[in-house]
Amino acid sequence: MGGRFRRAWQGGEGADEAERPGLVLLAARTAAEVRARQLLRRMLNPAQRETFELEGYFAVEVARRGKFWILPSPFFNVLHADTGNCYCAVPKAPVPLSDLMLAQKLLLENDPEAFFAVANRRAELIPGLVDARLRPDRVMQARRSPPPSRIRWLEVSPPPPENPLP
Protein backbone atom coordinates (compact mmCIF):
# COMPACT_ATOMS: atom_id res chain seq x y z
CA MET A 1 0.00 0.00 0.00
CA GLY A 2 1.51 3.33 -1.03
CA GLY A 3 2.25 5.96 1.59
CA ARG A 4 -0.11 8.56 0.15
CA PHE A 5 -2.97 6.05 -0.07
CA ARG A 6 -2.34 4.82 3.47
CA ARG A 7 -2.35 8.37 4.85
CA ALA A 8 -5.57 9.19 3.00
CA TRP A 9 -7.29 6.00 4.18
CA GLN A 10 -6.23 6.51 7.79
CA GLY A 11 -7.16 10.17 7.73
CA GLY A 12 -3.62 11.39 8.21
CA GLU A 13 -1.63 13.95 6.22
CA GLY A 14 -3.08 14.58 2.77
CA ALA A 15 -6.41 13.01 3.65
CA ASP A 16 -8.69 15.69 2.26
CA GLU A 17 -12.03 14.84 0.67
CA ALA A 18 -10.67 15.02 -2.89
CA GLU A 19 -8.28 12.16 -2.16
CA ARG A 20 -11.01 9.91 -0.69
CA PRO A 21 -13.85 9.88 -3.22
CA GLY A 22 -14.71 6.26 -2.41
CA LEU A 23 -15.10 7.03 1.27
CA VAL A 24 -17.25 10.08 0.56
CA LEU A 25 -19.48 8.04 -1.76
CA LEU A 26 -19.77 5.27 0.83
CA ALA A 27 -20.75 7.78 3.53
CA ALA A 28 -23.39 9.32 1.24
CA ARG A 29 -24.83 5.90 0.40
CA THR A 30 -24.89 4.94 4.06
CA ALA A 31 -26.63 8.19 5.01
CA ALA A 32 -29.18 7.68 2.20
CA GLU A 33 -29.89 4.13 3.38
CA VAL A 34 -30.36 5.34 6.97
CA ARG A 35 -32.91 7.95 5.82
CA ALA A 36 -34.63 5.42 3.55
CA ARG A 37 -34.88 2.87 6.37
CA GLN A 38 -36.43 5.48 8.69
CA LEU A 39 -39.02 6.33 6.03
CA LEU A 40 -39.78 2.65 5.42
CA ARG A 41 -40.36 2.05 9.13
CA ARG A 42 -42.76 5.03 9.27
CA MET A 43 -44.75 3.72 6.30
CA LEU A 44 -45.16 0.15 7.59
CA ASN A 45 -48.22 -0.76 9.63
CA PRO A 46 -47.54 -2.07 13.17
CA ALA A 47 -47.59 -5.76 12.17
CA GLN A 48 -45.29 -5.16 9.18
CA ARG A 49 -42.95 -3.05 11.30
CA GLU A 50 -42.69 -5.76 13.96
CA THR A 51 -41.89 -8.44 11.37
CA PHE A 52 -39.42 -6.14 9.64
CA GLU A 53 -37.59 -5.40 12.90
CA LEU A 54 -37.40 -9.11 13.82
CA GLU A 55 -36.85 -10.75 10.43
CA GLY A 56 -35.72 -8.05 8.00
CA TYR A 57 -38.69 -8.57 5.67
CA PHE A 58 -42.44 -7.94 5.83
CA ALA A 59 -45.69 -9.18 4.30
CA VAL A 60 -48.08 -7.31 2.03
CA GLU A 61 -51.66 -8.42 1.29
CA VAL A 62 -52.51 -7.86 -2.36
CA ALA A 63 -56.17 -7.82 -3.39
CA ARG A 64 -57.20 -10.91 -5.39
CA ARG A 65 -53.61 -12.22 -5.39
CA GLY A 66 -52.85 -13.09 -1.77
CA LYS A 67 -49.87 -12.58 0.47
CA PHE A 68 -46.42 -11.46 -0.70
CA TRP A 69 -43.24 -11.08 1.33
CA ILE A 70 -40.86 -8.25 0.45
CA LEU A 71 -37.33 -9.46 1.18
CA PRO A 72 -34.20 -7.35 1.75
CA SER A 73 -32.60 -8.07 -1.61
CA PRO A 74 -32.00 -5.84 -4.63
CA PHE A 75 -33.48 -8.35 -7.08
CA PHE A 76 -36.24 -11.00 -7.11
CA ASN A 77 -37.23 -9.92 -3.63
CA VAL A 78 -41.04 -10.09 -3.82
CA LEU A 79 -42.02 -13.65 -2.86
CA HIS A 80 -45.57 -14.96 -3.36
CA ALA A 81 -46.60 -16.96 -0.30
CA ASP A 82 -48.81 -19.43 -2.17
CA THR A 83 -46.85 -20.19 -5.32
CA GLY A 84 -43.22 -19.67 -4.24
CA ASN A 85 -42.64 -17.40 -7.25
CA CYS A 86 -40.31 -14.43 -6.85
CA TYR A 87 -40.88 -11.16 -8.68
CA CYS A 88 -38.38 -8.48 -9.63
CA ALA A 89 -39.36 -4.91 -10.46
CA VAL A 90 -36.66 -2.31 -9.85
CA PRO A 91 -36.05 1.24 -11.07
CA LYS A 92 -33.32 1.98 -13.61
CA ALA A 93 -31.46 4.29 -11.23
CA PRO A 94 -29.76 2.83 -8.16
CA VAL A 95 -31.73 3.52 -4.97
CA PRO A 96 -31.23 2.52 -1.34
CA LEU A 97 -32.60 -0.94 -0.60
CA SER A 98 -35.17 0.38 1.88
CA ASP A 99 -36.50 2.80 -0.76
CA LEU A 100 -36.85 -0.10 -3.20
CA MET A 101 -38.76 -2.15 -0.61
CA LEU A 102 -41.05 0.80 0.15
CA ALA A 103 -41.74 1.49 -3.54
CA GLN A 104 -42.65 -2.16 -4.07
CA LYS A 105 -44.93 -2.16 -1.01
CA LEU A 106 -46.77 0.96 -2.16
CA LEU A 107 -47.14 -0.31 -5.72
CA LEU A 108 -48.40 -3.73 -4.61
CA GLU A 109 -50.93 -2.21 -2.21
CA ASN A 110 -52.18 0.54 -4.54
CA ASP A 111 -51.67 -0.63 -8.13
CA PRO A 112 -50.69 -4.31 -8.24
CA GLU A 113 -51.51 -4.62 -11.94
CA ALA A 114 -48.83 -2.02 -12.74
CA PHE A 115 -46.33 -3.97 -10.65
CA PHE A 116 -47.06 -7.32 -12.29
CA ALA A 117 -47.10 -5.74 -15.76
CA VAL A 118 -43.40 -4.87 -15.48
CA ALA A 119 -42.10 -7.46 -13.00
CA ASN A 120 -39.99 -10.42 -14.03
CA ARG A 121 -40.95 -13.73 -12.42
CA ARG A 122 -39.08 -16.90 -11.55
CA ALA A 123 -39.93 -19.98 -9.53
CA GLU A 124 -37.94 -19.87 -6.31
CA LEU A 125 -39.56 -22.57 -4.17
CA ILE A 126 -41.81 -25.56 -4.66
CA PRO A 127 -44.80 -24.71 -2.43
CA GLY A 128 -45.58 -28.24 -1.21
CA LEU A 129 -42.02 -28.89 -0.03
CA VAL A 130 -41.58 -25.85 2.22
CA ASP A 131 -43.97 -24.72 4.95
CA ALA A 132 -45.44 -21.33 4.02
CA ARG A 133 -44.19 -19.67 7.22
CA LEU A 134 -40.59 -20.70 6.43
CA ARG A 135 -40.47 -19.64 2.78
CA PRO A 136 -38.90 -16.17 3.22
CA ASP A 137 -36.21 -17.61 5.50
CA ARG A 138 -35.45 -20.42 3.05
CA VAL A 139 -35.06 -18.02 0.14
CA MET A 140 -32.76 -15.72 2.09
CA GLN A 141 -30.74 -18.67 3.43
CA ALA A 142 -30.29 -20.09 -0.07
CA ARG A 143 -29.11 -16.74 -1.38
CA ARG A 144 -26.51 -16.45 1.39
CA SER A 145 -25.14 -19.94 0.75
CA PRO A 146 -22.04 -20.20 -1.42
CA PRO A 147 -22.69 -21.83 -4.78
CA PRO A 148 -21.71 -25.49 -4.98
CA SER A 149 -18.19 -26.01 -6.18
CA ARG A 150 -17.69 -27.31 -9.67
CA ILE A 151 -16.69 -30.94 -10.09
CA ARG A 152 -13.68 -31.54 -12.26
CA TRP A 153 -13.72 -34.43 -14.69
CA LEU A 154 -10.65 -35.84 -12.91
CA GLU A 155 -12.70 -36.22 -9.73
CA VAL A 156 -15.40 -38.17 -11.55
CA SER A 157 -13.25 -40.59 -13.49
CA PRO A 158 -9.51 -41.10 -13.18
CA PRO A 159 -7.37 -40.73 -16.30
CA PRO A 160 -6.46 -43.93 -18.16
CA PRO A 161 -3.16 -45.53 -17.17
CA GLU A 162 -0.13 -44.45 -19.21
CA ASN A 163 1.02 -48.00 -19.95
CA PRO A 164 -2.00 -50.16 -20.61
CA LEU A 165 -1.46 -53.86 -20.14
CA PRO A 166 -1.37 -55.94 -23.34
Listed residue (125, 152, 155) closest to 138, CA to CA: 125
Within 81-151, strands assigned E span 85-88, 120-123
Residue 27 confidence (pLDDT): 72
Angle, nearest 10°, between helix axes 21-43 and 46-55?
Answer: 140
Q: Which residues of the chain have pLDDT under 70?
A: 1-26, 125-135, 142-161, 163-166
Residue 29 confidence (pLDDT): 78
Number of helical (H) and strand (E) elements in the chain, helices listed first = 7, 5
Sequence-separated (6 or more) residues with CB below 8 Å from residue 131: none
pTM: 0.68
Residue 13 confidence (pLDDT): 46
